[in-house]
Structure 1
Amino acid sequence: MILVIITLTNVLGSEVPAQSYIKDTALIEKLPEEKYNQFYDSLKHKANQNKFTRIFYDFLISPPRPYVDKKEMALEYYSRMEGKTISEIDITALDVFGPNLEDTTKKAKSWVERTANALHTKSNLNTIGKMLMFKVGDIIDAEELYENERIIRALPYIKDARFFLEQDSINPDLVTVHVITKDRFSLGVSGNVNGTSSAALELYNQNIFGVGHEISLRFVGHLHKQPYMGLETFYSINNVKGKFVDVSAGYMNTYLKEGFSFELEKPFLIPSMKWGYGASALRMHRTNQIFDNDPLIIEEPLDYSFYSAWAGRSFQINENNYNSSQVVISGGFYNRTYHHRPNPSFPENQFFSNNTFYLTGLTFTQRRYIQDQLIYSYGIVEDIPEGFKNEIVYGFDANEFGNRHYLHLYLSNGNLLIKRRGYLFMSAGIGGYFNKSKFEQGQVQASTNFISRQFNAGRKRFRLFIRSNYILGLKRFDIENLDLSRNEDIRGFSSKEAVGKQKLSVDLEYVLFLRREFYKFNMAFYGFADVGVIGSNKKLIFTQNYYSGLGLGLRLHNENLVFKTLQVRLAFYPFHPSDMSFVGFIFEEQLKKNFYSFEPTAPAPLDFR
């Protein structure tokens, strides 16, 4: 079966001792993974002594290297000290350029790097300390250390994090935990030009003052629509007072929309967390979309308010097993009130209805994380989720045009394949609304995502990505249509003609990771072939309209920066619709893709898009 797959805090609170700067992590015992790498580096050095052995090394020994289970190595390293008491916690935040986790004494070489380090505010040690799930006096728990390392590494302003353990020379039952983090340069800039009439420029800082707060200012301009120069601004606080609660607020006033937003969220970061909850508010005085990325564009601006809240309680099936399955019971509500909307007309009046949607969910999930590199990032550690998430959600829609019930079933699973030959994710879901007389706004969906292991091409490494997505609308409203314009379907495709109530897309991508850098930017060439089929829900999908996209491109990214990935792409669209051309060329920014995490979330209806 197949399935689819994101005020100020008190900085001085929850203090964690921050001791002396670690001069050189080489003095601390290395992880087994590092010893493994040292062996191959030594072998490579010897092979480079003559041409024949260098070629032999490149093609037979150079990547892909034998699979290394980095999680087992890390757990083995931490397990050596398991049961001992933490006597001291030493936190070090490294500069962006120069030092690394293997040698903290390295210095930035160029004046550009030294200037960037001077401009950058290093992460506040108390802020990092609040992210720790252990304290002085606790007993070493290998699984907890591994998960805590992952949580810190997931922060947008952290490039990498590592915990080193040092046994006390006098009392062998005491251990010092050295927490070393490496920042990213937190200042970023982004922008885009839309035709000849509009453009946008964004400035942001993902670690303002070093306390982990995020701020962004996006200036949006249009030559013919008011306001001619508008602003979108957002401010976020991560891990408020060390409670793992995230808060964000925003204000928007551009030619596209005007309003404000607020969101509070405490996610189920780890299986042992018993409670998760959240709340949000959105007040839009003027917008042509109900939500961002909604495929439906409204000609007459909407004026509406949206409020929601939820909470969930987790129960571990085996509390003694850190990676055990968990059952989560959750409930919440969504309220939407329109102050100005298109005139509701039967039978589609419920699409723009004032309503309160009550939802409850039962989720059965398990998750664990393994480590690898060169998947969606460029040479840094990536935490890959394995596990499953199966949920059933029931809802009651208290609607001004008639109350309805809602029900859906969603199943998902993702794991490494046997003998580590790749990663496979599958998901499937079915759901819809119903009352005593009819069923409506239903859907069936299925998805797969396959990522191959690393292969070698001389001294280069590559992976193969295959993704498929299918969705069938059942008794959807006429105003609701699917399209192929998302990058998850046919990248770069944009057409108002290719729409329907049913679609199937299959994407094939070959990514070649280059070892050479371009002005400190990692490079990856890629080629792709995308196929999409779309049309009516009354016929088999294979009898519908076919479209495709073929092309190649180059991605540039520097993991030391918070900048998005830069992408240059040339694409060809055989059998293209009349409202788009055969050739497409684009230079754009791209957000990094994320894995489906199997994390329990707020109960919500399935997306039809």
Structure 2
Amino acid sequence: MHNSHPIFRLPLLICLLGMFLLLAGVCQAQVSPVADSTQTDTVPQNFNDRLLENLKEMSQRKTIMGKLLKAVLVLEKAEEVYGLNAELIQQEYEKHNYKIVRRIDILTLDALGYSINDTSKVPDSFMEKAGNSLHVKTGRGQVRNKLLFRKMEPLEPLALIESERLLRQSRHLLDARIVVNEATTTEDSVDVFVVTKDIFSLGGSGSYTPSSGKGRVSLRELNFLGQGHQVEGSYRFNLHNRPRPWEVSSYYSIENIGRSYVSADMAYVDKNYYKEKSAFLSRDFFSTNTKYAGAVGISWIEERFLLPSSPEDTLIRYGTLSFNRQDVWLGRSFKFKTYNLGYEPRSRVILGLRFINTNYGMVPTENFQDNRLALVSAGYSIRKYYKDRYLFGFGRTEDVPAGTLFSITAGYEKGDLRDRKYFGTSLSFAKYNASLGYLYASASYGSFIRNEQLEQGVLGLETLYFTKLSEWGNWKLRHFVWGRGTLGINRYPEELLSINNESGLRGFRSHMLRGSRRVTLNYEANLYTPLSLLGFRLATVLFADVAWLSSGNQSSPFKEAPYRGYGIGFRFRNEFLSFSTIQFLISYYPKLPQNDDLRGFRVFESSRPYYDFRDFQFTRPGVADFR
């Protein structure tokens, strides 16, 4: 861990305080008051009740510790949540298919003090009211633009649950509910009620090292003036041992322009070893019933490129890669004909066409060439979503994708030095069961073909499983298992895989350890506690990572002993703020590469979850990833 001392590390203080509270509660929970001699019939308390009761008692004392606990500690009560079974909701709403939407009522809730499951709840503290006064609530027109149904038009199948999911995917919304007013429903018309809850979209972070003067400042607004525009920027200064002492990056995006579901994204990044200027307009297959998708964009990128090294090298060698790229694609979805007006099939056949023009300025090796790549793909997709909680969030409703996706891609690259063909295919599926958990698996293959020889090929395998949520009172536990395999086939020497961080072992950093074939296995257990410290929910994390790495087309990653990482830590998140999840982890690595200056133990922090879902919506045709 670097030896800086950031001044904005409140979560670290919270983490230490949380550990103290847990220890204090456990210790006090072991001390039983002297029982009344006349009392003969008692009910023993479990660990959860003892801990919460003792923490509450400590917070009510008129001591310094008691006042501190009362100021920062909130013991979360389990909130009754409705509408978590999307499949049952779909069946319930099928009776309203093709009825006329007579009325749409929209209620948008501010970020702090409100509940989407109890709309009568209002802010009752000064901090909540003050926070809401600094926040511009999402406009009802912005919510209306996300809906897949319109007033005085027939209600299409899946429109209600798909609209609710799309609202929940917005970065500036915490949750959303869409319900039919059954009391006013008639045989040919319905009234619909939509309620959304914001997050506190204005946020930022920073750090400063007094000894060196090095620091960082970042700001973000995810819902500018309540219109869904997102502005993010960061500035780093007083950087040492760099070509330039400062770096800057900025991003601007419009999530949905009007009712078109077209998004705009712009980026400007000027760092020492990475520069980017890009602008894109895009529309994806955002719902099952979307017919057309596509994108057009342009980008200029310059980055430092890691060159291959031999086992004897002790120094890292880099080159510079710069290029500009124009990218355009178009997709069309076709649904199967059905004669049942009350049923909407979820399966779709999709066709896609993409054209990419790449021109290089600086290249580190001769394997990079100016080229024009044309790709065409056909796919078959079945998409559906379930609802659950305590996956990547701390109690908010989360959409779990399930289904099947199969695609075939073919293409041709016209280069200044050489021409070649491309072929790729992929298959993925996922099943979700409330009792057994979630299982996802995928396999993909892609390769260029030149002179009847495979070139830059890759075989990818992936599986993700998480268990159902186990609950003991307000304590909740879930397990994750993630397996991945990436096998390169006749890759270029400069195309290398690592096992750093998200690529293999979390917290691991090695610039020298690279290969062309990699297999990783990750396990994680998350224990969600009922503690809320200054609004940040607390969970404990236990993990174990294993990674195999080898070089060469015929090599097996399993011939060498794997690299391993074991760790424990804490995770914080305030669902009502725009801050990312904050994690503080301690890890241990029994095996280290010889040429790297690494330590077996490492304390590090992270702001992103380690796992993520793979959706089953068809995306733009592309070359199989090798990273």
Q: Place the TM-score, normalised by the shorter chain, in its bin.
A: 0.7 to 0.9
Match of 1:208 in 2: 224
| Conservation of the 8 A alpha-carbon contact between 1:272 and 1:322 | no
Match of 1:420 in 2: 435
Match of 2:580 in 1: 564
| Conservation of the 8 A alpha-carbon contact between 2:504 and 2:520 | yes
Q: 1:190 to 1:415 in 2, by over 3 A?
A: farther
Q: 1:56 to 1:570 in 2, by over 3 A?
A: closer
Task: Give CA deviations for 1:65-116 in whole Å, capped at 9, x if unaligned.
Answer: 9x99611342354345445432111111111112212332322122221111
| Conservation of the 8 A alpha-carbon contact between 1:58 and 1:459 | no
| Conservation of the 8 A alpha-carbon contact between 2:273 and 2:303 | yes
Which amino acid is the alignment partner of residue 536 of structure 1? S
Match of 1:494 among 501, 509, 513: 509
Match of 2:114 among 78, 89, 99: 99
| Conservation of the 8 A alpha-carbon contact between 2:573 and 2:582 | yes
Q: Following TM superposition, by how much is the alpha carbon of 1:587 offset from its aligned partner in structure 2, in angstroms?
A: 2.5
Match of 1:521 in 2: 536
Task: Give CA deviations for 1:251-276 in whole Å, capped at 9, x if unaligned.
Answer: 22232333411111100011211111
| Conservation of the 8 A alpha-carbon contact between 1:412 and 1:428 | yes
The reply on whether 1:575 has 2:597 as its aligned counterpart is no
The farther-off stretch of 187-196 and 142-151 is: 187-196
Match of 1:315 in 2: 334
* Count of matched residue positions in the alignment of Structure 1 and Structure 2: 543
Match of 1:18 in 2: none
Which amino acid is the alignment partner of residue 327 of structure 1? V
Match of 1:154 among 169, 186, 191: 169
Match of 1:218 in 2: 234
SS of 1:113's equivalent in the other structure is helix
Match of 1:139 among 133, 154, 173: 154
Q: Following TM superposition, by how much is the alpha carbon of 1:404 offset from its aligned partner in structure 2, in angstroms?
A: 0.7
The reply on whether 1:304 has 2:323 as its aligned counterpart is yes
| Conservation of the 8 A alpha-carbon contact between 2:98 and 2:157 | no
How far apart, in 2, do the equivalents of 1:604 and 1:89 lie? 40
Match of 2:626 in 1: 608
Which amino acid is the alignment partner of residue 495 of structure 2? E
The reply on whether 1:324 has 2:341 as its aligned counterpart is no
SS of 2:112's equivalent in the other structure is coil
| Conservation of the 8 A alpha-carbon contact between 1:168 and 1:175 | no
Give the structure-1-normalised TM-score: 0.83
Superposition pairs of residues 313-462 of structure 1, within 5 angstroms: 313-318=332-337, 321-342=343-364, 344=365, 349-350=366-367, 352-417=368-433, 420-457=435-472, 459-462=474-477
The farther-off stretch of 539-548 and 440-449 is: 539-548
Match of 1:274 in 2: 291
RMSD, aligned α-carbons? 2.9
How far apart, in 1, do the equivalents of 2:158 and 2:270 lie? 46
Task: Give CA deviations for 1:503-560 in whole Å, capped at 9, x if unaligned.
Answer: 1111111111112211211111110111111112423321124100001011000111
SS of 1:288's equivalent in the other structure is strand
The reply on whether 1:263 has 2:283 as its aligned counterpart is no
Larger radius of gyration: 2
Q: 1:126 to 1:482 in 2, by over 3 A?
A: same
Which amino acid is the alignment partner of residue 310 of structure 1? W
Match of 1:72 among 69, 87, 107: 87
How far apart, in 1, do the equivalents of 2:83 and 2:160 lie? 20
How far apart, in 2, do the equivalents of 1:331 and 1:182 lie? 38
How far apart, in 2, do the equivalents of 1:398 and 1:185 lie? 49
Superposition pairs of residues 94-133 of structure 1, within 5 angstroms: 94-133=109-148
Superposition pairs of residues 178-189 of structure 1, within 5 angstroms: 178-189=193-204
Match of 1:590 among 584, 608, 615: 608
The reply on whether 1:237 has 2:228 as its aligned counterpart is no
How far apart, in 2, do the equivalents of 1:428 and 1:226 lie? 42
How far apart, in 1, do the equivalents of 2:204 and 2:345 lie? 39
How far apart, in 2, do the equivalents of 1:327 and 1:83 lie? 24
SS of 2:575's equivalent in the other structure is coil
Q: Following TM superposition, by how much is the alpha carbon of 1:335 offset from its aligned partner in structure 2, in angstroms?
A: 1.5
Which amino acid is the alignment partner of residue 486 of structure 2? I
Q: 1:128 to 1:51 in 2, by over 3 A?
A: farther
Q: 1:310 to 1:130 in 2, by over 3 A?
A: same
| Conservation of the 8 A alpha-carbon contact between 2:305 and 2:319 | no
Superposition pairs of residues 33-52 of structure 1, within 5 angstroms: 52=43
Match of 1:469 in 2: 484
Match of 1:34 in 2: none
Task: Give CA deviations for 1:314-339 in whole Å, capped at 9, x if unaligned.
Answer: 11124564342111110111111112
| Conservation of the 8 A alpha-carbon contact between 1:360 and 1:395 | yes
Q: 1:459 to 1:339 in 2, by over 3 A?
A: closer
Q: 1:245 to 1:169 in 2, by over 3 A?
A: closer
Which amino acid is the alignment partner of residue 43 of structure 2? F
Match of 1:164 in 2: 179
Match of 2:74 in 1: none
How far apart, in 1, do the equivalents of 2:227 and 2:127 lie? 24
How far apart, in 2, do the equivalents of 1:472 and 1:169 lie? 59
Superposition pairs of residues 470-485 of structure 1, within 5 angstroms: 470-485=485-500
Q: Following TM superposition, by how much is the alpha carbon of 1:569 offset from its aligned partner in structure 2, in angstroms?
A: 0.2
SS of 1:483's equivalent in the other structure is coil
How far apart, in 1, do the equivalents of 2:545 and 2:208 lie? 25
Q: 1:192 to 1:544 in 2, by over 3 A?
A: farther
Which amino acid is the alignment partner of residue 52 of structure 1? V
Structure 1 residue ranges without an equivalent (≥5): 1-49, 291-296
SS of 1:471's equivalent in the other structure is strand
How far apart, in 2, do the equivalents of 1:334 and 1:69 lie? 42
Match of 2:65 in 1: none
Identical-pair percentage: 27
Structure 2 residue ranges without an equivalent (≥5): 1-40, 51-76, 307-315
Q: Following TM superposition, by how much is the alpha carbon of 1:193 offset from its aligned partner in structure 2, in angstroms?
A: 7.8
SS of 2:396's equivalent in the other structure is coil
SS of 2:356's equivalent in the other structure is strand
How far apart, in 2, do the equivalents of 1:542 and 1:409 lie? 26
Q: 1:431 to 1:80 in 2, by over 3 A?
A: closer
Match of 2:59 in 1: none
The farther-off stretch of 167-176 and 421-430 is: 167-176
Give the structure-2-normalised TM-score: 0.81
| Conservation of the 8 A alpha-carbon contact between 2:84 and 2:397 | no
Q: 1:171 to 1:454 in 2, by over 3 A?
A: closer
